Structure 1
């Protein structure tokens, strides 16, 4: 089983050989491996072959910094220039965190970022400092989710993540406006699986468990969170995410974007500049404990907080290593050969 650091170093070598400059390979590699350790395996190292392909094809900008479109003390807009989205978003969280310690709140929005992978991985950079953070993204070049009651896709899954400090481990929420993700749908198609429930609509608007209805000449759609009964909730969330990711940066679907990427929203709050950090965590820890000790429906499955499994996964990966999903290292071997990197193999 490779160690956490071994996987990071391998991914870093591949990204550096592909052409990423500065700290971009290091930051991107670390957060992709972190996603796997947290259990978000569709949005971790599984993204690496596509990232390398886009770097080599010139579809991911490999050098330089984002362009500053607007810069106020608590509101920043970047043009990401299709730079690595994982690196850009981590950079945005760290900038917003630094400024929030003076302004109380700071938001950074990014237009024309490349794909940003797993949103939960960005949260600890803020929560470890006692800060609350929100990260959201959408891809204006693609659509998988129809508005509630419709049959034509308008939105991507539009994920939203929130990191909340407590007196112990932080709460790490990572959800989406759709009932599942495009990445999970693609994995199920590759593996011949089905959705656990009727999570999609076919092209005629009929509920389906078959992920194959999302592809082909007549494409179906993913249902918003809430499904066929209460999908208006996910629909409303998607409208908000689209507004804060694309509306606030002033660029999105209305501009006809055609390349895979992301519009990104980051906001950080410093509780110390509100009611105080101790007062904040006193409240969040009370709620956290009330959830953890809540009588479960199934005694074998106690109530857990969002992020609890991710934190356990991270600690285990750091201590004992991490086994990549079957086929992942094999999928990277052709790229390693192309880039002159010795391939990493499972023991």
Structure 2
């Protein structure tokens, strides 16, 4: 029988570990909530799977425990922060509050964060904006590492550079969360540890040959993750990767041109208030029509009707909140030593 854990027990467990590691209650609550939201929606590489690595970063001092972001630049609709390597989920939630307030006054509000720590699953933030009737654009890069080659190249330049958006409809929100590469570091690392393979040849080895084996990312000469579109149309993913670099490192003025500081993120976050444009009712009317036509499209497989991006995740989130959350089998074993170290009971 598959083990399930209550939402409250998982959130308390993560919260207590983070507080034991030295985070204040507000920072720990932000990080715990975002990580558990990832597992609720089924993003098992970007939920509590990140908690053990975050705890290591806190212990090593490479994730800052205390303080506030520093303002680098500020104008009416735009704000740039130096995140000082503070916890990424806490910084993003703070930035969303800032951007939302500006969007309600001005139509849009944009916050760019340099030197944030990792921000977890981007999809975890979309519902929060949509429930307020707002549209959220969110993207990030990590200038401290590279695992994705530009189209036609063998040497990595980019991280998977996710770009995402969430907005309200008359029903479930839409949540678009797309890596600009064919897969993520989280999945390739997990499959490599398990000796598994990818569903398709989403990688190239160090000689430029396509592969579905994550081992090519670790063997010499090291391979890379392909840009979104793969060998056939990877120029599209390459272009999107460059766009994310412009929105993050470019606007933040800090990125791959600067010395590496360790695992982290540069973040672009923009909130748009439909009420400041044609109005929320008009926005919802148009998006509901697009959603309706999409769902009505005759499916290739009758057993798999067309869904909207994020629909399955939100449905799974509702189900798991009621019935209990299924964690990937690797997560609790990774967290058990930390629970023992800090005297925190594992979730039942």
Residue among 6, 15, 18 paired with 1:15: 18
Q: Confirm whether residue 94 of structure 1 aligns to residue 97 of structure 2.
A: yes
Alpha carbons 2:202, 2:225 under 8 Å: kept: yes
Alignment of 1:215-254 (within 5 A): 215-254=218-257
Q: Confirm whether residue 176 of structure 1 aligns to residue 179 of structure 2.
A: yes
Separation (CA, whole Å) in 2 of partners of 1:210 and 1:45: 25
> Could you list the per-position Cα deviations for residues 171-192 of structure 1 after superposition, in whole angstroms to 9, with x for gaps in the alignment?
1001011011010111111111
After TM superposition, give the deviation of residue 330 of structure 1 in Å: 2.0
Q: Tell me how large the CA RMSD over aligned residues is.
A: 0.9
Ranges in structure 1 where 5+ consecutive residues have no aligned partner: none
Alpha carbons 1:225, 1:235 under 8 Å: kept: yes
Alpha carbons 2:85, 2:115 under 8 Å: kept: yes
After TM superposition, give the deviation of residue 314 of structure 1 in Å: 1.3
Residue among 105, 108, 124 paired with 2:108: 105
Alpha carbons 1:93, 1:125 under 8 Å: kept: no
Q: Residue 43 of structure 1 aligns with which residue?
A: 46
Alignment of 1:23-42 (within 5 A): 23-42=26-45
Alignment of 1:247-326 (within 5 A): 247-326=250-329
Q: Residue 159 of structure 2 aligns with which residue?
A: 156
Ranges in structure 2 where 5+ consecutive residues have no aligned partner: none
Q: Residue 341 of structure 1 aligns with which residue?
A: 344
* Partner SS for 2:257: helix
Separation (CA, whole Å) in 2 of partners of 1:202 and 1:40: 27
Residue among 51, 70, 90 paired with 1:67: 70
Q: Residue 139 of structure 2 aligns with which residue?
A: 136
Alpha carbons 2:227, 2:234 under 8 Å: kept: yes
TM-score after normalising by structure 1: 0.98
Separation (CA, whole Å) in 2 of partners of 1:278 and 1:304: 23
Alpha carbons 1:94, 1:125 under 8 Å: kept: no
Q: Confirm whether residue 57 of structure 1 aligns to residue 60 of structure 2.
A: yes
Alpha carbons 2:206, 2:220 under 8 Å: kept: no
> Could you list the per-position Cα deviations for residues 296-338 of structure 1 after superposition, in whole angstroms to 9, with x for gaps in the alignment?
0010110111010111111112211112111311211111111
Q: Residue 209 of structure 1 aligns with which residue?
A: 212
After TM superposition, give the deviation of residue 30 of structure 1 in Å: 0.9
Separation (CA, whole Å) in 2 of partners of 1:131 and 1:185: 34
Separation (CA, whole Å) in 2 of partners of 1:168 and 1:327: 34
After TM superposition, give the deviation of residue 258 of structure 1 in Å: 3.5
Q: Residue 115 of structure 1 aligns with which residue?
A: 118
After TM superposition, give the deviation of residue 64 of structure 1 in Å: 1.2
After TM superposition, give the deviation of residue 135 of structure 1 in Å: 0.6
After TM superposition, give the deviation of residue 344 of structure 1 in Å: 2.6
Alpha carbons 2:38, 2:121 under 8 Å: kept: yes
Alpha carbons 1:94, 1:126 under 8 Å: kept: no
Instruction: Count residues with an aligned counterpart.
Output: 345
* Partner SS for 2:96: helix
Separation (CA, whole Å) in 2 of partners of 1:303 and 1:180: 22
Separation (CA, whole Å) in 1 of partners of 2:296 and 2:93: 34
